[in-house]
């Protein structure tokens, strides 16, 4: 059975500094993504899916390494982000997938359409391949990011 890796965006240490992601009011993107992840993981497991939760204290690069050390070709890895910004044009739902992989492109489009159907207020921003693996970490600011799996 394929595994699903879910990473809550931010929360780890980047360049020696704790990365909370976008902050507003008395919460952070990292805290909210952890809360969402903690709701999603048991829901998926209750449907019989094999879901692994990436530890919250890892940096983006460490998260990718953690996933890549455990993934198989049929697995899927997602990192969720709030996609928040003070710039309205930068808000919305985005999905990134592995470049030159039509299967993952289709998966990304299905996921994006499902999110937009459930939350139609979200503007649809992007469907784009991730950069090569060497720079995947920089793509983790995207709303959803596929890893090597």
Q: For the CB of residue 103, give the shortest distance to Zn ion in the complex, in Å.
A: 25
Only segment of 18-26, 49-57, 72-80, 112-120 that touches Zn ion (CB under 5 A): 18-26
Other CB atoms within 10 A of residue 27 CB: 13
> Angle 12-26-114 (CA atoms, 0-180°, nearest 5)?
70
Q: How many residues bind Zn ion (CB under 5 A)?
A: 3
Assigned token pair, 103: 């299967």
Cα separation, 126 vs 94, whole angstroms: 5
String marking each residue 21-60 x if it binds Zn ion according to CB under 5 A: x---------------------------------------
Distance in angstroms between the alpha carbons of the first and the last residue of the chain? 14
Using CB under 5 A as the binding rule, whether residue 81 contacts Zn ion is answered as yes
- Which residue, 81 or 105, is less far from Zn ion as judged by CB? 81
- Which residue, 21 or 108, is less far from Zn ion as judged by CB? 21
Q: For the CB of residue 30, give the shortest distance to Zn ion in the complex, in Å.
A: 8
Using CB under 5 A as the binding rule, whether residue 12 contacts Zn ion is answered as no
- Which residue, 50 or 85, is less far from Zn ion as judged by CB? 85
Task: Please report the beta strands in the chain, taking only residues with DSSP state E, as ranges in sequence order.
Answer: 3-8, 13-14, 17-18, 23-24, 27-28, 50-53, 76-80, 93-97, 124-129
Q: Which residues in this chain contact Zn ion in the complex, by CB under 5 A?
A: 9, 21, 81
């Amino acid at each position: 059975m394929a595994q699903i890796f879910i990473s809550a965006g931010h929360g780890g240490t980047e360049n020696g500094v704790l990365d909370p992601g976008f902050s507003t009011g008395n919460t952070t993107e990292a805290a909210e993504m952890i809360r969402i992840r903690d709701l999603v993981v048991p829901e998926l497991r209750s449907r019989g899916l094999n879901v692994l939760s990436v530890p919250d204290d890892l940096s983006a690069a460490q998260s990718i390494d953690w996933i890549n050390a455990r993934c198989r070709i049929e697995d899927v890895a997602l990192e969720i982000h709030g996609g928040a910004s003070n710039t309205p044009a930068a808000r919305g739902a985005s999905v990134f997938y592995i470049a030159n992989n039509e299967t993952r492109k289709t998966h990304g489009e299905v996921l994006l359409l499902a999110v937009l159907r459930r939350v139609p207020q979200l503007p649809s921003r992007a469907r784009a391949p991730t950069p090569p693996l060497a720079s995947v970490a920089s793509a983790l600011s995207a709303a959803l990011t596929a890893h090597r799996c």
